[in-house]
Structures are given as C-alpha cells and as structure tokens.
Amino acid sequence: MPPAVKAKSKQSAPARAKSAALPKRTHKTKFQADLAPSEDHMVRALKAELQMSSNSDFLSDALTLLRWAVSERKRGHRIVSESATGERKVLLFPRLERVAPEVTLPHVDIRWTEKELGSLAELVSGQSAEPTEALIRAMRS
C-alpha cells in the first residue's frame, strides 16, 4: 500500500517555498464554480455589460481587479469611488480588511451604561426574530 504522505524532498526551505509559490504547469487549468442562481445572473449581466463572451476572460479580469484591491489594502490604502460632484464612498469589503495593516482598521469605543448593558443582555437572550421580507429581498439582490 502506498504511503499516505509523500516523503520530504531534500530541497532547502526557501527553494521549496519558491517552487510551491510558482506552479510548474505549462497548460491551462480548468476552473468550475457552483453559483447560486442570483450569482449566475450577476455574472451573466456583468459579462453582457462588459461585452464579454468568455468566462475565462471574465475570471481573468475579476482576478486582476481583486489582486489590485488586495495589494492596495496591504499597503494601507483605502479604495474610494468619487462622483463627478466630488462625493466619495469608501469600499468596505470585509475580506479585503483581513489583509489591511491593523493600524488602519477602524476602532469604535462604546461606553455602555448599566441600563444599556441590561437592555442589550435582555435583547440578546430573548427569542430570535425571524427575518423581515425587506431583509430577505435585500439578501437576494
């Protein structure tokens, strides 16, 4: 019976890390994703809006954009959209915040009163609420 784990190579740790980071494949890799119907609709709509016919082109462009966003957040930069009138909106994307330097993460200090803490404890320990129709619609969009 073959061993469950391959034996370690005699490569040095830096060489192993470098070879692990760079795939040796010279052929294209297939990628398949199981999307919810709403996500499938979103992908199709974006491809149509961008006049793309290929899923490969779509994924390649999406990866390029996400790689750029990760790079910017790692450097502590915020990603901002600015309208023609100068109104700015900062992108808040929890997965991107995982790579942001801790010094740039927002911090809120809430000073609770005894009455507020009691009210919160009562609310949290109570019966869970069912989602409203508005919340269900918002989650589907």
Please give the full DSSP string across 96-129, using - where no structure is assigned: HHTTS-GGGS--------HHHHHHHHHHHHSPPP
CA distance 89 to 22: 36
Q: Write down the pTM of the prediction.
A: 0.53
Task: Quote the CA–CA distance of 101 and 107 in Å, as a whole number.
Answer: 13
Tens-place pLDDT, residues 9-46 = 455 555 555 555 666 667 888 889 999 999 999 999 99
For residues 69 and 96, the answer to whether their CB atoms sit within 8 Å is: yes
Which stretch of 54-58, 105-109, 111-115, 121-125 has the lowest confidence by average pLDDT?
105-109
Distance CA 31, CA 105 (A): 34
Count of Cβ atoms closer than 10 Å to residue 73 Cβ = 21
DSSP 30: P
pLDDT for 101 equals 81
